[in-house]
Amino acid sequence: MDFQVVVMAGGYSKNLVPLVSQEMPKPLLPVANRPVLSYVLELLEASNLKDLIVVVEGEDVALRVGGWISGAYVDRLHVEVAAVPEEVGTAGALRAVAHHLTAKDILVVSGDLVSDVPPGAVAATHRRLDAAVTALLCITPVSGPSESVSSVGKDKGRKLPRANIVGLDHTRQYLLHVAAGAEVGKDIKIQKSILRANDQMEIRADLMDAHMYAFQRTILQEVLDQKEMFHSIKHDVFPYLVRTQLRSEISDKGAPKNGLNGVDYTLNGSEPASEILTNRTHKCCAYIANKSKYCSRLNSVQAFCDINRDVVGEAGHLSGYSFSAQNNIVHPSAELGSKTTVGPQCMLDEGSKLGDKCSVKRSVIGRHCRIGSNVKIFNSVVMNHVTIEDGCFIQGSVICNNAQLQERVVLKDCQVGAGYVLTVGSEYKSEPLSKK
């Protein structure tokens, strides 16, 4: 279909600081005990997209990611892992792989996307509307994670993500305005020319940019070449294209001209009324995913917890595991002590051992963890090879690989970095804990 896919896998993300480490870069962070990147790759694979370019920040990360991909997808996908220097941004990363891009359109997908929105839908919308860029927009869940979580009190300190402002035309196909949440002050400025050209604009704050873009290659490359300052696709390239849709300096030579022998076809019989008036140089479109689709990005610690919970919970079909009758996933090799309960929407992976009288609710526990007796784990993510001794109480926390929790540790909303050791009886609340 003349599409090429670039997956922006990222590297060490600053937002996820206690979670990511040398051994555990962002693309490999486990979501339901599978690297987050695998969700994107499998989504693409399900859409019959098998030739991928995965762009990773940093050489060593690239090695790790490449190793993992070649192991996991050896005969399923044809993946090219490209390493780019850190801090070049997504735009820089695209520049770095520009020489690989030959197809008519490019699909740029963020590697931290966990979604079941078919990429084909975005691509098809892109093609159908002859767009220069098409973005996948998802409806932001209004109350965040489910209510039972907030009743635990986990969401109290959480800042509401600042809303993205998106302006759409009345057909909800064309993007007229975008402003990232962080840039929005008290007022938003909308270009008069765009507003005038469209008669009306629908401003929405409930849409989230899922970082899946379909670009026309020629336009994308021209922007990247012309604007060397552009750092990020989301913050620079995409808003630029939307802003300049009426008066871009980008010549539209990428679009195939229909004229033959100087005869210019007028196919305007079919165009909707708004289009007759707007003399767009290029079109910026949006594909708004259906509400029933799951779509989320792992770009913060909070998102990491939410996604983990959702993937074993309400968006269970994404995890690829089959749920038991109790609506949880317990690996057959996991050992449970007496009177230990594993509630619904939980996951317990292979080789993990739980002592007696433990209680696990809405949590994900990785491989080969050793958990003592009388341990309560609620709403938490425990990665691989973690040791938790007797009497610990863990709520809303993330415990990374090889961490050790000694007896009677109480954690609430904490992130424990890899290999960190918590001493006997310590109590923490809302703190990132990691080796300095």
Partner 1 sequence: MDSRRLPRTVIDPKVRLVGFFTSGDPPPARFNPNTADATAATAAAISSSSQNSDINLTGNSLSPVMIPPLRRMSPRRCDEMQMPIGSYNPSESLLGTSPSRRGINGPDFSEVATSAWLGISGSMKAAASFPGSSGEMMMVGKNGGNALVKNMDTTELAAKTVPGVTEKDGGTLTDMKNEGAGTVRHQKQMTTRAERRAIQEAQRASKAAAMMDEKDGGTRTDIKNEGAGTVRHQKQTTTKAERRAIQEAQRASKAVTMMDGKGGKSIASTGGGAPSISNQEKVLKQSQKKDGPQETGATSEKKVSRNPDKDRKKDIPQPRMQFDDKNRVEKAKRRAVVNQFEARNRVELFRHLPQYEHGPQLPYLESKFFHLDNIHPSVYKVGLKYLSGTITGGNARCQEMLLAFREAIIDYSTPPEKVLVRDLTSKIGSYVSFLIECRPLSVSMGNAIRFLKNRVAKLHHNVSESEAKSRLISDVDRFINEKIIVADQIIVQHAVTKIRDGDVLLIYGYSTVVEMILLHAHEQGKQFRVMVVDSRPKLEGKILLRKLVMKGLSCTYTHINAISYVMHEVKCVFLGASAILSNGTVFSRVGTACIAMVAHAFRVPVLICCEAYKFHERVQLDSICSNELGNPDVISNVPGKEDVNHLANWADHKNLQLLNLFYDATPSDYVSMIVTEHGMVPPTSVPVIVREYGKDQFIF
Positions that interact with partner 1 (CB under 8 A): 1-3, 47-49, 104, 118-121, 123-125, 127-129, 256, 258, 260-261, 263, 265-273, 276, 290
How far is the C-alpha of 3 from the C-alpha of 126, rounded, in Å? 11
The residue to which tokens 């679009």 are assigned: 255
Smaller CB separation from partner 1, 116 or 350: 116
> Least distance (Å) from partner 1 to the CB of residue 48?
4
Alpha helix locations (H) across 279-352? 301-312
**Of the two residues 67 and 272, which places its CB atom closer to partner 1 in the complex?**
272
Asked if residues 411 and 428 have their Cβ atoms less than 8 Å apart, the reply is: yes
Kindly state the smallest distance separating residue 129's Cβ from partner 1, in Å: 8
Closest separation between CB of residue 132 and partner 1, Å? 15
Smallest gap from Cβ 426 to partner 1, in A, equals: 50
Query: C-beta of 76: minimal distance to partner 1 in Å?
Result: 15
Cβ nearer to partner 1, comparing 74 with 267: 267
| Closest by CA position to 346, among listed 43, 33, 39 | 33
Q: Give 142 or 263: the residue with its C-beta nearer to partner 1.
A: 263
Which one, of 138, 148, 147, 110, lies nearest residue 298 by Cα? 110
Buried b (16+ CB within 10 A) or exposed e, 359-388: bbbbbbbbbebbbbbbbbbbbbbbbbbbbb
Report, in Å, the least distance between residue 79 CB and partner 1: 16
Hey, CA dihedral for 10, 14, 20, 21, is it positive or negative? positive
d(CA 289, CA 409): 43
Give the Cα separation of 195 and 152 in Å (integer): 45
Q: Quick one: 270 or 322, whose CB is closer to partner 1?
A: 270
Q: Which is nearer to partner 1, 4 or 13 (CB)?
A: 4
Q: Least distance (Å) from partner 1 to the CB of residue 220? A: 18
Residues 6+ apart with CB under 8 A from 238: 133, 135, 178, 209, 213
Q: Which residues does residue 81 pair with via DSSP β-bridges, in sequence order?
A: 54
d(CA 425, CA 29): 29
Minimum distance from residue 312 beta carbon to partner 1 (Å): 25
Report in angstroms how near the CB of residue 278 gets to partner 1 at its nearest. Answer: 13
The CA distance from 71 to 79, in Å, is: 11
Q: Which residues contact 307 (CB under 8 A, 6 or more apart)?
A: 31, 36, 114, 296, 298
> Is the Cβ of residue 134 or residue 328 nearer to partner 1 in the bound state?
134
Taking the least distance from each CB to partner 1, the nearer of 1 and 182 is 1
Q: How far apart are CA 419 and CA 154, in angstroms?
A: 25
- Nearest-approach distance from CB 238 to partner 1, in angstroms: 21
Rounded to the nearest 10°, the torsion over CA 365, 81, 122, 143 is 30
Q: Is 358:377 a contact under the CB 8 Å cutoff?
A: yes
Query: 278: which residues sit within 8 A by CB, 6+ positions away?
Result: 197, 198, 246
In this structure, the number of other CB atoms found within 10 A of the CB of residue 273 comes to 8
Least Cβ distance, residue 282 to partner 1 (angstroms): 16
d(CA 162, CA 188): 13
Strands 398-399 and 284-288 come out as: unpaired
Comparing CB distances to partner 1, the nearer of 127 and 331 is 127
Of 116 and 335, CB closest to partner 1: 116
Give whichever of 275 and 407 is closer to partner 1, judged by the CB atom: 275
